[in-house]
A and B are shown apart, each in its own frame.
Chain A
């Protein structure tokens, strides 16, 4: 019994302490406030039902408090003024409301417009170059914009492979850190650890690049040599340093804070009731995490991983420094190459020939579409998972 009490004591801070309330939290705080009394005595049966159920129908009006306010305002004038005066009376109040509404919709329209215009820019600038391409734009592995001989196959391969390796390395570590911070660490340790992880995000990517090629890559050489004993064309050792593998590990460190921060946020929000229920049923800490925390946070972890993937796909300057370039095409991950972003950066010093520049912009267009697809996939996954939460 005493052991169980200390556990819940430790669990309490993250749940109650979370400084930012997510939009959904309106419902949860409501639920917790209501649950506060009975929960202490462990009325777990009731609690397990609650977290899923009340969120939808009852809570919405609370979240939409702005709407309620608007309705209130529109209904007050008739009380203070006479019937015919309503239009002028309400007009004064409504102007601010309408202006604010217009401003918010303007802001979102602006963003949509910017994305559309960037897309239009990419298409308009790249189409003439693609039309003059002497190779097949989609399947050729050569990338020589100066002579209008360019294809994106090799760039696409390197971009995708380097990002996937980065995610394979980063996501398990990020989940581990997030679980440690939210479930295992004592409060005085959790905060500093979280802070340090956040700090990783503040290091400029050029620093990662310089660190990657001067410090990390030489130290990874023996690791690469070891891994190259694995069978398959993926693991053929071609370069000592500056390989896709080196770049992927640097990217993994770079995406770590993003995936960690989001995983931590969702794990923190695991309903206390679920956790307590699992523990009450005699689950160990690990079983509780597996039954209560991980299923609840899955959608969040997936979206965090996708955000990280987006970052990895588009990362430029770190890859520019770490990755050696090489001609031709090979599937090995122990070889150099260029990603879309690094290829554009490498060519950017001499953007003076519009046709050649168009070739780089065409590579940018493909990256744009790729990130778009990744984000859409992430959204689809998250939406589908929502039903299970």
Chain B
């Protein structure tokens, strides 16, 4: 009988492997869904390019790679979404040609020095993808909900526990808020989304949010229940009335979640690609030279700016030891910062604001 058990197991294993392989090959060859939009300005290179890193920009990368490979038949680009930390360490170990990361190289961790050594030239942090983080909620009878950053902090840290709290009612005049408990949902797995959301809380309400923003401390800092993955959070919100949680914009759209308008002082702002771009436009470039490390102003009071955003960078060298690789990286990133930006809105991301886009273009132009 054990043999039968094993046989079934092996059969299932073989089946899974075959399916997985099929999935791999199909994702590699699926080029048509990205569409031709914005592919007119592609400068082709041929050969192989390897990249690795942030999962937050994986969908954007997939679309860009598909569009690029469709235009340039000899080009093969492979982006492995294993996480920002893994991407940066693979880049510094000279295993991949560029990395995707949700935070710029950190000099205090020695990442800048390691990247400098690997490149033999100045490493660059190039902002490429803006990801709005939505506050999704489910509350029957409430179609529009406005919260200030302080209220968001108090809700997530358990200092406000009822929907009809006077502080919430004060900014939602006219809304029929129920007296039910607030069910807070957060990400349980380590994620840059959590880190950026915590940065937003820490920047706006340091008295209520005292922890150091990190990717994996949600269990300690939030009062509620954690769910694995963006999909887990989105479905947990939509399945229980009275829930609120933070999730990437695309998941809020796909899951048809109601989203909170955030009022940072200049009126309530809905999450959208334009309002997120406006917040990034208010960010300050702290990188020196061609490096474009950003300091996002999470407490922005700019009109129409939605302050909970995540920016992912492409980490590349100014000068590659292999000239062909350098040219390929330059051509590909030149596409992503120009024509590629128009694909982002359809994927739940936001395009770079135009002033920053111009700077990134200039920096990409220096890659060789």
B85–A351 contact, CB under 8 A?
A: yes
Given A19-B1, A194-B1, A202-B11, A346 contacting B189 (CB threshold 8 A):
yes
What residue in chain B is nearest A321 (Cβ atoms)?
A: B228
The proximity string for A residues 140-184 relative to B, scoring 1 for CB distances below 8 Å and 0 otherwise, is: 001111110100000000000000000000000000000000000
The proximity string for B residues 69-113 relative to A, scoring 1 for CB distances below 8 Å and 0 otherwise, is: 000000000000001111011000000000000000000000000
Complex CA gap A280/B236 in Å reads: 60
Given A146-B216, A325-B219, A349 contacting B9 (CB threshold 8 A):
no
Given A194-B1, A350-B85, A352-B85, A324 contacting B188 (CB threshold 8 A):
yes
For residue A53, which residues in chain B have a CB less than 8 angstroms away from its CB?
none
What residue in chain A is nearest B4 (Cβ atoms)?
A: A198
Complex CA gap A352/B218 in Å reads: 18
- Whether, in the assembled complex, B217 has its beta carbon less than 8 Å from a beta carbon of chain A, the answer is yes
CB distance from A300 to the nearest CB of B (A): 12
- Whether, in the assembled complex, A116 has its beta carbon less than 8 Å from a beta carbon of chain B, the answer is no
How many A-B residue pairs have C-beta atoms within 8 angstroms? Tell me.
Answer: 122
B226–A324 contact, CB under 8 A?
A: yes
For residue A202, which residues in chain B have a CB less than 8 angstroms away from its CB?
8-9, 11-12
For residue B223, which residues in chain A have a CB less than 8 angstroms away from its CB?
327
B235–A349 contact, CB under 8 A?
A: no
Binds B, one of A31-39, A44-52, A257-265: A257-265
- Whether, in the assembled complex, B227 has its beta carbon less than 8 Å from a beta carbon of chain A, the answer is yes
Q: Which of A197-239 contact B (CB under 8 A)?
A: 198-199, 201-204, 213-214, 218, 239
A257–B212 contact, CB under 8 A?
A: no
B2–A214 contact, CB under 8 A?
A: no
Complex CA gap A320/B190 in Å reads: 12
- Whether, in the assembled complex, A40 has its beta carbon less than 8 Å from a beta carbon of chain B, the answer is no
CB distance from B123 to the nearest CB of A (A): 17
- Whether, in the assembled complex, B55 has its beta carbon less than 8 Å from a beta carbon of chain A, the answer is yes
Given A198-B8, A239-B225, A242-B236, A349 contacting B189 (CB threshold 8 A):
yes
- Whether, in the assembled complex, B240 has its beta carbon less than 8 Å from a beta carbon of chain A, the answer is yes
A327–B188 contact, CB under 8 A?
A: no
Complex CA gap A259/B235 in Å reads: 33
Max count, chain B CB within 10 A of own CB: residue among A18, A199, A218, A349: A349
CB distance from A137 to the nearest CB of B (A): 17
Given A242-B227, A324-B227, A201 contacting B220 (CB threshold 8 A):
no
A349–B190 contact, CB under 8 A?
A: yes
What residue in chain A is nearest B16 (Cβ atoms)?
A: A204
CB distance from A336 to the nearest CB of B (A): 5
Complex CA gap A240/B189 in Å reads: 20
Q: Which of A146, A214, A261 contacts B235 (CB 8 A)?
A: A214
- Whether, in the assembled complex, B44 has its beta carbon less than 8 Å from a beta carbon of chain A, the answer is no
The proximity string for A residues 292-330 relative to B, scoring 1 for CB distances below 8 Å and 0 otherwise, is: 000000000000000000000000000011001111000
- Whether, in the assembled complex, B191 has its beta carbon less than 8 Å from a beta carbon of chain A, the answer is yes
- Whether, in the assembled complex, B319 has its beta carbon less than 8 Å from a beta carbon of chain A, the answer is no
- Whether, in the assembled complex, B3 has its beta carbon less than 8 Å from a beta carbon of chain A, the answer is yes
For residue B212, which residues in chain A have a CB less than 8 angstroms away from its CB?
147
- Whether, in the assembled complex, B345 has its beta carbon less than 8 Å from a beta carbon of chain A, the answer is no
The proximity string for B residues 334-367 relative to A, scoring 1 for CB distances below 8 Å and 0 otherwise, is: 0000000000000000000000000000000000
What residue in chain A is nearest B10 (Cβ atoms)?
A: A202
- Give residues in B with beta carbon < 8 Å to A: 1-5, 8-9, 11-12, 16, 55, 83-86, 88-89, 188-191, 212, 214-228, 232, 235-236, 239-240
Contacts A321-B228, A325-B225, A327-B221 known; list 14 others, CB within 8 Å.
Answer: A19-B3, A142-B220, A194-B1, A201-B9, A202-B9, A241-B236, A325-B218, A326-B224, A326-B225, A327-B223, A338-B219, A349-B189, A351-B85, A352-B88
* 3 smallest beta-carbon distances between A and B, as pairs: A352-B85, A325-B226, A324-B225
Query: What are 23 sample pairs from A and B whose C-beta atoms fall under 8 A apart?
Result: A144-B217, A144-B220, A146-B214, A149-B220, A195-B4, A202-B8, A202-B9, A239-B225, A241-B236, A264-B1, A321-B228, A324-B227, A324-B236, A325-B226, A327-B219, A338-B188, A347-B216, A349-B83, A349-B215, A350-B85, A351-B86, A352-B83, A356-B216
